[in-house]
DNA sequence: TGGCGATGTCAACACGTGTTGGCCTACAGT
DNA sequence: ACTGTAGGCCAACACGTGTTGACATCGCCA
């Protein structure tokens, strides 16, 4: 056989992630994804059931936060933004979530879950007053997602043009304050 | 005649703004908008030409920033976030821009223009080193748009649940630093 | 060699969309 | 009372979409 089914599945998934990331859910068509993967649209249905199934597979993303509580306390802000920038640039799933979560309530719900679980549990171990943990996690989320929005999605020139180090220097203290002050 | 054409135009526009704000561009259908306005879809075409024309009319939005340079210098951060929250809650156009700009490049370009012109010119009069004005405006945009994203679009529970005063108290200093430090 | 399952293609269906043109209806002016 | 016109409706078109089922092809195994 020319290709194993796993290869094709992977090719479809890769094409899907690219399309979903750049076009969002609605404008990413099964036909376009199949064309990118070099196969017939019906193969997508065979392997992923339907468009929703394909999207679910493409949007399976993990923030992969390290344990900030293990770091020197005064460096957590910097560590958080550094990790987040890394994560954003290596994983198209981030873009998919943001692009689609804004118009699709189901994806928004998923993002709420992800941020509550991952950022929330992380701040819980960091914050002195545990009752404040969700609030502080939320504040950090606004700054960190706002940066992603302006830099990677909207591409506002001054933000897109900032160097990685500039971002860390400016946002690090902000996050530090949100998390530990 | 029962209705003047201006009335109908206004009814269509109001329905369109609501739909575009809650559904984005693609999922807001002409048929749904027309149904909300209580008229036939073809009337929309008569008055606005096509869907793009209707959207252009619905997405005509102005940030209406006051002149922060006229305020006491140490209060500009607080003033900025206060004004932005007001603006967001009274004008559906904000939601329209954010919901659609994320997937539509033309709208993103429009947002770049709006923020560069309005936030940019505002900070230019505020900042000591004029070369830093765009950077500082961009930083402020990340925090302010990130808040809008998390509170009004994604509705992350801890952020959506914050009181107006809490937001001002937390984000005011951040914006103050971005703009004037 | 013959058959079988896996991989892939093709054409088509059903549906919702933006958009169009023709028709109707009720009021204002004469 | 008659007519013109502005406001409104209806049915339909052309198109792109997700999705389906029947058919083809290739390589392994008995």
The separation, in Å, between residue B46 CA and nucleotide D5 C1' comes to: 16
Does A26 contact chain B (CB < 8 Å)?
A: yes
Question: Separation of CA B1 and C1' D2 in angstroms?
Answer: 18
Q: Which residues of B fall within a CB distance of 8 Å from A156? A: 111-112, 115-116, 138, 141
Question: CA A60 to CA A20: how far, in whole Å?
Answer: 12
How is residue B169 written in tokens? 């108290």
Q: Please indicate whether, in this complex, the C-beta atoms of A142 and B158 are within 8 angstroms of each other.
A: no
| Least confident stretch, A107-111, A142-146, B102-106, B127-131 | B127-131
> Which of A34-43, A81-90, B96-105, B125-134 is predicted least confidently?
B125-134
A22 touches chain B (CB under 8 A): no
Mark yes or no for CB contact A139/B146 under 8 Å.
no
To 5 degrees, how large is the angle CA A92–CA A122–CA A145? 40
Whether residue B106 has pLDDT greater than 70 = yes
| Nucleotide minimizing C1' to CA distance for residue B54 | C18
pLDDT at A6: 87
Q: Is A175 on the interface with B (CB under 8 A)?
A: no
Supply the pTM of this predicted model.
0.95
CB of B106 within 8 Å of a chain A CB? The answer is no
Residue A152 neighbours by CB under 8 Å, 6+ apart: A88, A94, A95, A98, A160
Percent above pLDDT 90 for chain B: 94
Min Cα–Cα distance to chain B from A39, Å: 26
- What mean pLDDT is reported for chain B? 96
What pLDDT shows up at residue B1? Answer: 57
pLDDT score of A34 = 98
Which nucleotide shows the minimum CA-to-C1' distance to residue A47? C7
Q: Do residue B112 and residue A154 have CB atoms under 8 angstroms apart?
A: yes
Say how many Å lie between the first and final Cα of chain A, rounded. Answer: 61
Q: Enumerate residues near strand C (beta carbon within 7 A).
A: A 1-5, 8, 38-43, 46; B 1-2, 28-32, 41-42, 45, 50-52
Note the pLDDT of residue B124: 93
Average pLDDT for runs of 10 along chain A of length 181: 84 98 97 97 98 97 92 96 97 98 97 94 92 97 98 98 98 97 90
Interatomic distance A144 CA / D15 C1' (Å): 41
pLDDT of residue B4: 86
B119: confidence class by pLDDT, cuts 50, 70, 90: very high
What is the mean predicted confidence (pLDDT) over B84-110? 97
Tens of pLDDT, residues B37-52? 999 999 999 999 999 9
Distance CA B73, CA B144 (A): 19
Query: Among residues A78, A123, A174, which one has the least CA distance to residue B172?
Result: A174
Confidence of residue B153 (pLDDT cuts 50, 70, 90): very high
B181, B142 contact by CB (below 8 A)? no
Report the 3 state secondary structure along chain B.
CCCCHHHHHHHHHHHHHHHHHHHHHHHCCHHHHHHHHCCCHHHHHHHHCCHHHHHHHHCCCCCCCCCHHHCCHHHHHHHHHHHHHHHHHHCHHHHHHHHHHCCCHHHHHHHHHHHHHHHHHHHHCCCCCHHHHHHHHHHHHHHHHHHHHHHHHCCCHHHHCCCHHHHHHHHHHHHHHHHHC
- On whether any CB of chain A is under 8 Å from the CB of B101, the answer is yes
Instruction: Answer whether A117 touches B (CB < 8 Å).
Output: no
Across the interface, do A155 and B115 touch by the CB < 8 Å criterion? no
- What pLDDT score was predicted for residue A3? 79
């Amino acid at each position: 056989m020319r290709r194993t089914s796993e290869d094709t599945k992977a090719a479809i998934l890769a094409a899907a992630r690219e399309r979903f990331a750049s076009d969002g859910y609605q404008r990413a068509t099964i036909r376009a994804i199949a064309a990118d993967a070099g196969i017939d649209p019906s193969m997508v249905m065979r392997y992923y059931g339907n468009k929703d199934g394909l999207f679910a597979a493409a949007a399976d993303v993990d923030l992969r936060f390290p344990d900030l509580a293990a770091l020197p306390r005064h460096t957590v802000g910097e560590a958080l933004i550094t990790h987040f920038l890394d994560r954003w640039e290596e994983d198209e799933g981030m873009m998919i979530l943001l692009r689609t979560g804004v118009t699709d309530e189901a994806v928004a719900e998923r993002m709420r879950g992800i941020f509550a679980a991952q950022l929330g549990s992380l701040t819980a171990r960091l914050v002195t007053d545990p009752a404040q943990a969700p609030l502080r996690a939320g504040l950090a989320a606004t700054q960190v997602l706002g940066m992603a929005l302006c830099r990677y999605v909207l591409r506002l020139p001054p933000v897109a043009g900032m160097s990685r180090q500039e971002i860390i220097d400016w946002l690090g203290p902000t996050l530090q304050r949100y998390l530990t002050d």
